[in-house]
Amino acid sequence: MLIGRVIGEVWATQKQPSHEGRKVLYVQPLALDGSDRGQPILALDAVDAGVSERVLVVTEGFSAMTAVDRPNSPIDMAVIGIIDTVELVKDA
């Protein structure tokens, strides 16, 4: 899983039938300090996330397809949560 920020939506006039009714989001992965990490990715939306929201993305096929209730579908990544806050705690 990774933390990311939604930077856009992808519009497709044709989709795999299993993707119908779901948004495809353009997500920028983030480091724990909130800075950009790596290249943006595409993920199917399971939680109705919007642009600029921080999200939790699952990056493994089986977890992604079950998160969006589309078993046996060609899905690699899915947005499965909207993040309210991140708190880092150091061990004493």
Say what the pLDDT of residue 92 is: 64
Given a cut of 90, whether residue 75 has pLDDT beyond it is no
DSSP string, 11-51: --SS--GGGTT--EEEEEEB-TTS-B-S--EEEEESS---T
pLDDT score of 65: 75
Lowest mean pLDDT among 18-22, 50-54, 75-79: 18-22
pLDDT the model gives residue 43: 93
The structural domains of the chain, ordered by start, are 2-11+18-82 (2.40.50.220)
Distance, CA of 50 to CA of 19 (rounded, Å): 18
First to last CA, the chain: 26
pTM: 0.85
Q: Tell me the pLDDT tens digit for each residue of 17-36.
A: 877 778 899 999 999 888 99
Choice between 40 and 60, residue whose per-residue pLDDT is larger:
40
The partner residues of 78 in beta bridges, in order of sequence, read 44, 58
